[in-house]
Amino acid sequence: MAGRSPLARASRDLIYYAFRNNRKETEMMDKTAGWAGETRTLAICAALATLAIVSRAECVKYAGIFINDEDWGLRPWAVKHFGKKEQIGTQTYEMVFALMKECGLNFIWPAMHEGGYEFVSRPENMALAAKHGITIGTSHCEPMLRNNCYLSKGDKKKWSWLGNRDFIKDYWQWSVDRYATNDVLWTIGMRGIHDGKMQDGTNTSHKIEILEDVFAVQCAMLEAAGKKDAPKLFVPYKEVLPIFNAGLKVPDGTTIMWVNDNFGYVRRLGGPQCDGYGGGIYWHASYHGRPHGYIHLCTTPPAFMWYELVAKCWQNGVRDVWMVNVGDVFQAEIIMYALGKFASDPEKWMAQGTPQDEILKMWAGDALAVKDQKTAERIAAHLGEYFNLGFIRKPEHMSVYWTRKLPQKLKEKLKSRYRTLLAEDKAVEAALPEEMRDTYFRKIGFQVRFLAHTGLIHLEGRDREYARSVIDPLHKRWDSIEGGKWSRFWCDTIDENGGMRQPTEHNRWSSQMQWPWNEPADPAKKDRHGESRDSYGASATAYDGTPEPKWLEPAENIPANGGAWRAVKGLGTSSNALALLPVKPGIGEGSALVYGIGNEECSSLIMQFLPDFALWPGMKLRVKIAFDDGEPLIVEVPKSDSNLGEKDPVRNTAVQDNFIRVKTKIPEGAKKVKITAVDPGVVIDQVGISSGF
């Protein structure tokens, strides 16, 4: 504010960092009449200055969300409530920003798909963000705060740096002229139209030359606007990562946003060769694309986010920006809450023994206003089961092929768990006061019941009429809660028979559900895109119809070199995977797990890993195994090279199963096996034994 002293301005900034993730204190400061009165402000500052400084050092600077693939939930809802002309506009962002503030988030990449208008084209959107303390940026494919989806059809044809350099510079200059003085994180670089590949460049070397020229021009534009030191982001996403790995030079002071494989597994981090670039991560809790998207429900376990962002990214210097693709936003409230909490104090959460349980209990108290500890614990346990079943198989990835290949005992166990999940959900809701039940259904019940019903439809081979009888009531109730405020957010999938079309009242196409009566029984047959299922893994699974291994528990857990294997509740398909922590080079090397094989007549050892990647190029993802006192054998987690593309069939299978297995022959007479850590980043989901090799 004009006239405020430098001390007051600095102290206000410190308090913002101290309390951006603490609702009670934020509400307390809001009551100070908009910071009116310098004496009052300075009094607060004097009492909290030390805490503010500590908090600023321990939190992620920018933690936020990307609204993406928003055409299946958020856009139909916004069109219904705010009109076709407005669509995802200022009224929608008022609700989004309020939710972000509740979750402790302070950074957004706005919705990028066509429809309505470009976010930055309306100054009131930027003002609204500032009001809520939200910093604005744009995604990996929207450089310089511009969304090329909104270019005219003719101008889209000009999107070539080599062919229309001046046109593109003028296009970017528009946003620099208007917003170089605002609180903006500038994404630099260049890709194609609407998340497409770069149109220019004949080979990798040529693409590097072009991108480095683009960088130079973009930096010069900001410098000319008096923003030489403006915060800049570069996101080496999809085909850009191999270009970066091949030697692309990014401007000094730029934060590199490392990326995952769209399914949560971080492809690589910086390593010593990238010191000085700061650190960011672009991570998915929702995705539309190969091998098969998942944009209907939010089934990403908070424990998985904790491992990839807190245990891995934070521990290896990724501390500037955490950006999560949350799709349609309102289905992802729990994971947004977890993101805000984890980012507010990663060191505290690193030391938390059961981070997922704790997050879910806290969320039940904050989002559902649950005061009773036992009820909060019951809801946390219920959600833990939902997230684990969703990690075992997302409903979007269920298929005839998957159900046919499941081992029979596992199939029966899953059916029992789905039925129990349904019964527990109804029981939990019934135990709540009546005035809380619609809120519970909106935030938990719809997704839990949709997941459980979808699993049973597939595993029991139910017909379309049965599916309609259990799914339609969910949509009808959803559309009625809170006076219809949320109607049309969830899309009806029962009548979907291929191809995207505009939603109607009784036929709302949704997020790639592979309903069993719509897909080819034989995955080798062509689908509606003219491709075989196996060509992009849409029905892939590592299950082969043989019985599941007999899973073992470790008899010994031996720490070494400052680290150890730690069972993380909620992580992996087992919901108790063993992670080597801390995830840092040289730490924990030599830590060992010992499993007794006993006198079982089994010939194979099965090691089931999370399908993660090595920390950075030049590293590997390995363990050593030794039977009894025999010579150790090196085992590498398959497909853990970050340069692997989206079309790799083994990874396409692994990211839908959320595991990858290695089978090793057991020497005759062996009584135990010792698994020893070699490289950081390995997560052992389960270890088992089976007959046959």
How many whole angstroms separate alpha carbon 259 and alpha carbon 62? 16
Q: Among 254, 275, 298, where does a domain finish? A: 254
Please give, one letter per residue, the 3-state secondary structure of 500-551.
Answer: CCCCECCECCCCCCCCCCCCCCCCCCECCCCCEHHHHCCCCCCCCCCCCCEE
Q: Which residues fall within 8 angstroms of residue 63, CB to CB, at 6 or more apart?
A: 104, 105, 106, 107, 321, 322, 323, 339, 340, 343, 344
**CA dist., res. 74 & res. 19, Å (int):** 30
Residue-level pLDDT at 601? 76
Count of the separate structural domains present in the chain: 4
Q: Does the pLDDT at position 276 exceed 80?
A: no
Token representation of residue 648: 């790799």
Task: Please tell me whether residues 499 and 585 are part of one structural domain.
Answer: no
What is the pLDDT, as a whole number, of residue 13? 38
Is 284 inside any structural domain? no
- 453 lies in some domain: yes
Q: Are 673 and 559 in contact (CB under 8 A)?
A: no
- What is the reported pTM? 0.89
DSSP 641-665: -TT--TT-HHHHHHHHHT-EEEEEE
Where a domain ends, among 536, 569, 590?
536
User: What is the tens place of the pLDDT at every residue in 641-655?
Assistant: 988 877 788 999 999
> Given pLDDT bands bounded at 50, 70 and 90, which one contains residue 291?
confident
Assess whether 450 and 424 both reside in one domain. Answer: yes
- Inform me whether the pLDDT recorded for 579 exceeds 80: yes
Is residue 422 located within the same domain as residue 387?
yes
Q: What's the pLDDT band for 400 if we cut at 50, 70, 90?
A: confident
Q: Is residue 42 part of a domain?
A: yes
Distance CA 586, CA 578 (A): 18
Question: What per-residue confidence (pLDDT) applies to 539?
Answer: 60
Cα 24 from chain centroid (whole Å): 27
Q: How much is the mean pLDDT over the chain?
A: 86
Q: Is residue 227 part of a domain?
A: yes
Does one domain contain both 516 and 607?
no
Q: Alpha-carbon torsion 239, 245, 247, 252, what sign?
A: positive
The enclosing domain of 559 has a CATH number of: 2.60.120.1620
Does residue 626 share a domain with residue 570? yes
Whether the predicted pLDDT of 595 surpasses 60 = yes
Residue range 503-541, pLDDT digits in tens: 444 434 354 677 777 665 555 555 443 444 443 445 678
> Residue 65 falls within a domain, yes or no?
no
Query: 123 lies in a domain?
Result: no
**Domain assignment present for 46:** yes
Q: Based on the domain organization, do 529 and 557 belong to the same domain?
A: no
- Same domain (yes/no): 529, 563: no
pLDDT in tens, 665-675: 999 989 999 99
For 15, the domain range is 1-58
Q: Quick one: 521 and 411 in the same domain?
A: yes
Same domain, 591 and 529: no
Q: What is the CATH number of the domain that holds 463?
A: 1.20.58.2150
Q: 97 pLDDT band (50/70/90 cuts)? A: very high
Helices (H), 543-667: 649-657
Determine how β-strand 321-327 pairs with β-strand 564-569.
unpaired
Whether 60 shows a pLDDT value over 90: the answer reads yes
Q: Are residues 508 and 641 in the same domain?
A: no
Domain end (from 58, 86, 106): 58
Cα Rg of the chain, angstroms: 26
Q: What is the pLDDT of residue 197?
A: 86
Q: Are residues 395 and 473 in the same domain?
A: yes
Choose between 421 and 396: higher pLDDT: 421
Residue 203 lies in a domain: yes
- The angle, 0 to 180 degrees and rounded to 10, between the axes of the packed helices 23-30 and 6-19 is 150
Q: Is it the case that residue 604 has pLDDT exceeding 80?
A: yes
Calculate mean pLDDT across residues 537-556: 86
**Residue 562 sits in the same domain as residue 630:** yes
In this structure, the number of other CB atoms found within 10 A of the CB of residue 27 comes to 10
Query: At CA 35, angle to CA 33 and CA 37, rounded to 5?
Result: 90
